[in-house]
Amino acid sequence: MAIDAPPRVDAVIITAPSLPPSPADAAFSIIYLDPRILKTAPRLDDALSQIPGFSLYRRLSSAGANPTTEGVTLRGIAGSAASRALVTQDGVPQNDPFGGWVIFNSLPPASLADITVVRGAGAGPYGAGALTGVIALKSIPARAGDWLIDASAGELGQEHLTGLGTVASGPILATFSASADHSDGWDPIRQGRGPADDNLTLTDWNASGRFAADLGRASAALRISAFEEYQDSGLVGESSRERGGSLSLSAAAAPAPGVLGWRAQAWLIASDLANSSYSVSAHQATDSLADNEYATPALGAGANAALRAVWTTTTLEAGLDARFDGGEDRENLGPVDGVLTQNRRAGGETFVGGAYLDFTRQIGRLLLTANGRADAWETFLGHDLQGPIGGAPTLDLRTPDRGGVTPTGRLGARWDVNDTTWLRAALYSGFRPPTLNELFRPYRVGNVVTLNNTALSPETLYGAEAGLGGQGGALRWSATGFFNRLMDPVTNVTLHAGPYRDPLAGYIPTGGSVLERENVGAVDAYGVEGDARWSLSQAVDARGAISLTHARVDGGSAAAQLTGLRPAETPAIVATAGLDARLFPRLTLTLDARYEGQRFVDDRNTLPLAPSTVADARLDWTVTRTVTLYVAAANLFNLAVQENNVAGGPISYGPPRAVTFGVRIAGGASS
């Protein structure tokens, strides 16, 4: 007698609450990161580095970079520690509320499903900060019973552990994730090392919980996260520590003909940076404490909402968003014979809020889209209190409140020539108000001191682009030409070269310098970008991409000496290539390579970094349906990659080749 099997019940899946992708996206330069890169990348910025045009303010990745250098930009328009691109997770901004940088170690790739990168000003529905584009992270869907453990260890004392799991409680699916890393680091100085030099090390952890519920036509999710990272920064005694957390609530419902779609979000983000800086003597013989930034508490809060209506050929969306950031830099400085004598507390608050209207119409093979928005911005409660440590302030500076309204928008069109080829063109603008870090916090790297500037104005960008692409058979490709003009860019401008004595920073020796953040004229950047993907066979996929950008500063009257020079930390060429090959049914090889042309560390283009090439490789062996063993080699050919160049000091280098071994165990409905 046959026994009937129990009926199959499909797993309940809840995705992050959001509106569906807008049809307007097809008119703009958008690239989707291959999920396989996310699965194998040790860090999020390593995965994003496969997109040409993506760069951090410094070459060094989050494996050793100071948190304050993890500013993001796209298209190589001009690097900035404050980020000229907006990073979001499920629509919630991830840029630090005080400095605008992104703590990539707080965003483990294992918790993400995919990444969409909008290149060019994404002001439209994204708002302030999307000056050179948007990096939109999407969390993995919540599916009851899914779980993952990934552990690895290897050279440079590297240790990594990630855990993720989803459980059901009534109508709620709760997804918990956590990861931790440690690295003994590496010596960044290859020639000219002195007793003052030390390794770059890293210890970090992050944890999050997401509680999602299906509400019928709508869905909602509450997300809580926390992180901390600690680094030794390359000089004896010098270190940094960044910690923080976030709370966000999102809800959304997809539109349908005759039924409005909507999205609503609110969030809180808290962060705190501690950072010590040391001055260095000749030949790296000794170093001494020059500044102790013992706390930088900051709080960001925001909300956004949108309504979307769809008809057969038309989509109309209206929305608004608002963000508030407040924080204070607290530091001891003013060294006298190696002892800090002064205390400084400086900070303030900023607000930016805007509204937009987005219209898209499909007319046969032609897509037309238009967006207009206006944002009000304000900086207020600025203050700078200074005095002897343990004593009353002897200086009390109050910064006048400032504000304004900035209109932005974008226009786009796409024509599908046939079923395999398309053409498109777009015009756009965007803006970014200065961060609290730029307005109120000075900083020091070795013997280079950069001062804050409370008079900074917002940056604005105007651009145009045109592209074409296609998909046929085994090949998918696209190419885009673009021109951008960045107005009033915030740039670190050299004021004094050492030897020089700064009233607060103290003595700056020969080879050192004093800079100040200033709005400098404009940056003109034009170039081309292209990418392609080939399915060479059922077992082999290849990918390649390139970005060529000619960027030059127009210093105007504020900094005429910079006119005609390349913006600091801006490479002219970036190219990437990758290969995914199933060598045997259970053995897979992944290869990734990135080439970056020369860039300059400083505004005057006197401190170059040589072109660099880095190749990574990974082998995955599927032992069972749930267990995979892997071995990975970063910087496979052990090439020297220059990552910093300081006048009068040695050149710093990125990590050498490092091999790690790991195991990935996954279970549940999706395994």
Which range among 57-66, 179-188, 612-621 shows the weakest confidence by mean pLDDT? 57-66
Which range among 274-288, 318-332, 355-369 shows the weakest confidence by mean pLDDT? 274-288
pLDDT at 3: 35
Confidence of residue 10 (pLDDT cuts 50, 70, 90): low
Mean local confidence (pLDDT), 238-258: 95
The mean predicted confidence, pLDDT, of the chain is 91
Confidence of residue 121 (pLDDT cuts 50, 70, 90): confident
Quick check: helix, strand or coil at residue 23? helix
Mean local confidence (pLDDT), 633-658: 92
Tell if the pTM clears 0.75, that is, is over it.
Answer: yes
Residue 438: strand pairing partners: none
Confidence of residue 475 (pLDDT cuts 50, 70, 90): very high
Mean local confidence (pLDDT), 411-438: 95
> Do residues 358 and 317 touch, judged by C-beta distance below 8 A?
yes
| pLDDT tens per residue across span 366-414 | 999 999 999 999 999 999 999 999 999 999 999 999 999 999 999 999 9
Q: Tell me the domain boundaries of the chain.
A: 13-667
Question: Letter for the amino acid at 628?
Answer: T
Mean local confidence (pLDDT), 234-252: 95
Q: Which helix (H) or strand (E) holds 48?
A: helix 44-48
Look at phi and psi of residue 668 and say left if phi exceeds 0, alpha if psi is from -120 to 50, else beta: left
Quick check: helix, strand or coil at residue 456? coil
pLDDT at 6: 39
CA distance 489 to 521: 7
CA distance 661 to 158: 10
> Do residues 177 and 108 touch, judged by C-beta distance below 8 A?
yes
Mean local confidence (pLDDT), 466-492: 93
Phi, psi of 88 (to 5 degrees): -125, 150
pLDDT at 472: 86
Quick check: helix, strand or coil at residue 285? coil
> Do residues 427 and 441 touch, judged by C-beta distance below 8 A?
no
The token pair that represents 517 in the structure block = 């953040």
Q: Strand 587-596 and strand 573-584: pairing?
A: antiparallel
> Do residues 459 and 431 touch, judged by C-beta distance below 8 A?
yes
Quick check: helix, strand or coil at residue 40? helix
CA distance 146 to 161: 17
pLDDT at 648: 75
Quick check: helix, strand or coil at residue 507? strand
Measured CA to CA in angstroms, residue 358 lies from 112, 256, 259, 371 at distances of 28, 17, 17, 4
pLDDT at 9: 43
Confidence of residue 1 (pLDDT cuts 50, 70, 90): very low
The token pair that represents 170 in the structure block = 């009534």
Which range among 36-40, 157-161, 197-201, 346-350 shows the weakest confidence by mean pLDDT? 36-40
Does position 418 have pLDDT exceeding 50, yes or no?
A: yes
- Name the CATH topology of 13-667: Maltoporin; Chain A (2.40.170)
pLDDT at 671: 55
Does position 124 have pLDDT exceeding 80, yes or no?
A: no
Does position 5 have pLDDT exceeding 70, yes or no?
A: no
Which range among 47-56, 355-364, 576-585 shows the weakest confidence by mean pLDDT? 47-56
| pLDDT tens per residue across span 548-599 | 999 999 998 878 999 999 999 999 999 999 999 999 999 999 999 999 999 9
> Do residues 200 and 191 touch, judged by C-beta distance below 8 A?
no
CA distance 407 to 123: 10
